[in-house]
Structure 1
Amino acid sequence: MSDAERVVLCFGDSNTHGTMPLPSLTERGRHGFSSRWTGHFRRALGPAVHVIDEGHPGRTTVHPDPVEGEHRNGLSVLLALLESHRPLDLVVMMLGTNDCKARFAVTADDIARSIDRLCGVIAAAQCGPGGATPKLLLVAPPPLTETGCLAGMFEGGAAKAAALAPRIEAVAQARGAGFVDAGAHITVSPIDGVHFDAAAHATLGTVLARAAAELLD
């Protein structure tokens, strides 16, 4: 691999997957490749950067989901993904929203500690160029709102989500990682209070590309 080539893994949940705001729980809409934040991110970084989309709807940080399945646990798949796609120059991680579901009964501090645990996996994986540690960009998801078809699922979650950004920023500082507070740039859709509309994807992709470019340079 030449010095001009960079590989970025985007590890996240349904908003990295590109799930559209849900009018009902039976919907399965997904933004197109070019419309997702990862698509805007890819275009902004240019052809010398290979971007890998790894977003899974319902993905948590470290929790097997007792309702939607154990496979939603981000910790259980992260190492395999790192090894599969290495060498990686940068990992962009945006998780924490699904941990706010009532079924997990965790605090904002717990979520930040769980994100730190995932950072530890990345640091120990030797998945960067030459077995080094890749750069890391932590993204605090925008605060959710308890509305629409997801309101019951996320009951009590809005307060946790609103408290996440400074805690994730503290993890980033301790780990020497980059940090972006997505909530400073976009808001969730009023349709379901969790997912992003097309305009939010465009804005976030551009913002994260600027942050990623600084880390890659």
Structure 2
Amino acid sequence: MRHILVYGDSMSWGLIPMTRKRLNFEERWPGVLEIGLNSADQHVRVVEDCLNGRRTVWDDPFKPGRNGAQGLAQRIETLTPLSLVVVMLGINDFQSMHQHDAWLSGQGLAVIINTIRQAPIEPGMQIPPILVVAPPLPHTPKGAIAPKFAGCEEKSAGLADAYKEVAATAGCHFFDAGSVVASSEYDGVHLDADQHLILGWELVGVVSSILK
């Protein structure tokens, strides 16, 4: 059985918009991906490491542990051997306390990629390939999260293009989630359940090609 790590934030954790609740494993896109791959006789286990509020490389001034680069190398070491690492981060880089743009978030992504590749895995074990998934861009944030994400639409403009360029330069696989799904109409940031289903099944084909 091959293992795939999904490294993400609340969008992959399965936060239900306008609530603090979580979708069940088989409803959120990493679970849909695992089910789809196994139904195609790929024999995989998808390991989720998805933390609400995780950035690429920046700290949250109000909550500890949200810097995505910190502890990542040890996470890779712990789970090795891995057949693939799927990284879907970025939206939290544009929270209102940060003055970042898509280019800066792309530079954070580059650090994440290098951290994965430089992890101290056992000699002879494969450095896993990386699939960068650019998240769908946010709409106007609504509800309780609105102040936290104020201005995120403008700051995140061009994110998919920035991530695609970083992935190409680093020799990573790339998929633009915004080409198939959209952020929730309810809170403007997360994914509704139907979008998790669509994204998971779209990634079945992408990941199958990588694993082959």
Coarse TM-score class (shorter-chain normalised): over 0.9
1:216 aligns to what? 211
- Could you tell me how far apart the structure 2 residues matched to 1:103 and 1:128 are? 39
Alpha-carbon spacing, 1:13–1:129, altered in 2? closer, same or farther (3 Å): farther
2:94 aligns to what? 100
2:3 aligns to what? 7
Q: What secondary structure is seen at the aligned counterpart in 2 of 1:91?
A: strand
* Matching residue's letter, 2:4: V
Instruction: State the Cα deviation string for residues 67-122 of structure 1 (Å, max 9, x = none).
Output: 2x121111112112111111111000000000011202112111000000110011
Return the TM-score normalized by structure 2: 0.93
Alpha-carbon spacing, 1:135–1:64, altered in 2? closer, same or farther (3 Å): same
Instruction: State the Cα deviation string for residues 143-173 of structure 1 (Å, max 9, x = none).
Output: 0012312222112211232310001001111
Q: What secondary structure is seen at the aligned counterpart in 1 of 2:46?
A: strand
Aligned partner (choices 17, 27, 38) of residue 35 of structure 1: 27
Q: What secondary structure is seen at the aligned counterpart in 1 of 2:136?
A: coil
Does 91-100 or 205-214 show the bigger shift? 205-214
* Matching residue's letter, 1:64: D
- Could you tell me how far apart the structure 2 residues matched to 1:50 and 1:34 are? 13
Whether contact under 8 Å (1:136, 1:177) holds in the other structure is: yes
Aligned ranges 1:119-130 → 2 under 5 Å: 119-125=113-119, 127=121, 130=124
Matching of residue 58 in structure 1 with residue 56 in structure 2: no
Whether contact under 8 Å (1:9, 1:91) holds in the other structure is: yes
Alpha-carbon spacing, 1:105–1:81, altered in 2? closer, same or farther (3 Å): same
Instruction: State the Cα deviation string for residues 177-215 of structure 1 (Å, max 9, x = none).
Output: 111100010001111111111110000001112111111
Does 124-133 or 50-59 show the bigger shift? 124-133
2:77 aligns to what? 83
Q: What secondary structure is seen at the aligned counterpart in 2 of 1:172?
A: helix
Q: What secondary structure is seen at the aligned counterpart in 1 of 2:6?
A: strand
Structure 2 residue runs without a partner (length 5+): none
* Matching residue's letter, 2:136: P
Q: What secondary structure is seen at the aligned counterpart in 2 of 1:159?
A: helix
1:143 aligns to what? 137
Matching of residue 183 in structure 1 with residue 178 in structure 2: yes
Alpha-carbon spacing, 1:132–1:154, altered in 2? closer, same or farther (3 Å): same
Q: C-alpha root-mean-square deviation of aligned residues, in Å?
A: 1.5
- Among all aligned residue pairs of Structure 1 and Structure 2, give the percentage whose two residues are the same amino acid: 36
2:160 aligns to what? 165
Return the TM-score normalized by structure 1: 0.91
How far residue 51 of structure 1 moved from its aligned partner, in angstroms, is 0.8
* Matching residue's letter, 1:78: L
Whether contact under 8 Å (2:7, 2:86) holds in the other structure is: yes
2:13 aligns to what? 17
Q: What secondary structure is seen at the aligned counterpart in 1 of 2:65?
A: helix
Q: What secondary structure is seen at the aligned counterpart in 2 of 1:71?
A: coil
Whether contact under 8 Å (2:16, 2:190) holds in the other structure is: yes
Number of equivalent positions? 208
